[in-house]
Amino acid sequence: MAIREIIRMGHPVLREKARPVREDEIKSGDLCRLVDDMIETLDDAGGIGLAAPQVGVGLQVAILNMPEGANRYGHFEAIPLTVCINPRMTTLDETRLEGYWEGCLSVPGLRGFVKRPQSLRLDYTDMDGVARQIEFNGFHATVCQHELDHLDGVLYVDRITDSRLLMFEEEFMRFVQPQGVQELSD
């Protein structure tokens, strides 16, 4: 396993659509190595989600991992380590939007407020090639959409509707966080 470099906003790979993983690639050494490295890279960076394009690989692979009792997310239920290959999401309720302060390992030092649907179903293939389905609600739905956006070349900053709600992390901590807002950093 190895920690890979996380590429930052401005790198063209972050703006490309990732291609689906082929069936014959699913249990391959290359894909296993990629996923192992992504898990280690995410752990090292202290995030809760990472998509393959963020390590410069244009494949439809995303991982989520929100440990139990992580201080910053302590008031949310944990998401166990989930490796999603070729994920597809279906929004279950378009009308209910909720906003969170998002951050991104590829956009370091910034926070922005994004509203997204709060109920979705995720269909994906796991590392054994088995088709799986999970429902995500609330904050978890936001985390999931943020990661899937990376596979479409979309960054959370594209989804900010009020650019006054994009700011440096330091100013966010100083002026916004004391008001007790919910944040998400991956």
- Nearest approach in angstroms of CB 29 to Ni ion is 27
Q: CA-to-CA distance for 160 and 167, rounded, in angstroms?
A: 11
Nearer CB in complex with Ni ion: 52/104: 104
Q: Which amino acid, one-letter code, is at 22?
A: R
Q: Which one of the listed residues 98, 135, 147, 171 is annotated catalytic?
A: 147
Beta-strand relationship, 97-104 and 119-125 = unpaired
Nearer CB in complex with Ni ion: 66/104: 104
Nearer CB in complex with Ni ion: 30/168: 168
The three-state secondary structure class of 85 is: strand
- The contact mask relative to Ni ion for 138-177 (x = CB under 5 A, - = no) is ----------------------------------------
Nearer CB in complex with Ni ion: 25/117: 117
Instruction: Establish whether 5 is a catalytic residue.
Output: no
Q: Identify which of 90, 68, 69, 71 has the alpha carbon closest to the alpha carbon of residue 81.
A: 68
- Nearest approach in angstroms of CB 49 to Ni ion is 7
What residues contact 127, with CB distance under 8 A and at least 6 apart?
A: 26, 27, 32, 35, 83, 85
Q: Does 38 bind Ni ion (CB under 5 A)?
A: no
Residue ranges in 79-118 that form contacts with Ni ion under rule CB under 5 A: 104
Residue 63: other Cβ atoms inside 10 A: 21
Residues near Ni ion (CB under 5 A), total: 1
- Nearest approach in angstroms of CB 155 to Ni ion is 7
Q: CA-to-CA distance for 31 and 106, rounded, in angstroms?
A: 22
- Nearest approach in angstroms of CB 129 to Ni ion is 26
Q: CA-to-CA distance for 30 and 118, rounded, in angstroms?
A: 34
Active site residues: 147
Residues near Ni ion, by CB under 5 A: 104
